[in-house]
A = this chain, B = another copy of it.
Amino acid sequence: MAQSRGYRVIAEFSIHPIGEGTSLSRYIRRALAELEEAKGLRLQVTPMATVIESEKLSDILSAVERAHESLFRMGARRVDFVLRVDDRRDKERRMEDKVKAVT
């Protein structure tokens, strides 16, 4: 499942436990720590999600899975996440390019 060299997958990940109170920041910090430990990912935290850039979708999916499991290890009983992926292979671009193109 190799991808063409140079192309980057850009994704967005938002995760939260359900039923562990309204303040989720300690859970989000843990999920972020898991993403940061993953190799080959560039990250940008936004107010609603974390943007992830990678050469390989599989690296994003592995990191997301680890982040997800880490919330259960913290005691969460129910965890929801949304992952949106934008994978463009006709043009090389990085996450900054997407913002520059529209602002």
Tell me the A residues contacting B by CB distance below 8 Å: 1, 10-12, 14, 16, 18-25, 28-29, 32, 44-49, 51, 53, 57-58, 61, 64-66, 68-69, 72, 77-91, 95-96, 98-99, 101-103
Contacts and interface: CB of A to CB of B under 8 A. Distances in A.
A87 B58 contact: no
Contacts of A16: 18, 80
Given A14-B84, A82-B82, A89 B77 contact: yes
Contacts of A87: 68, 72, 78-80
Copies of this protein, total: 4
A102 B25 contact: yes
28 contacts: A1-B65, A1-B69, A10-B47, A12-B46, A12-B49, A14-B84, A18-B18, A19-B21, A22-B78, A22-B91, A23-B91, A25-B102, A28-B101, A45-B102, A45-B103, A46-B99, A48-B49, A48-B84, A48-B98, A68-B87, A77-B89, A78-B86, A78-B88, A78-B89, A79-B87, A80-B85, A82-B84, A82-B85
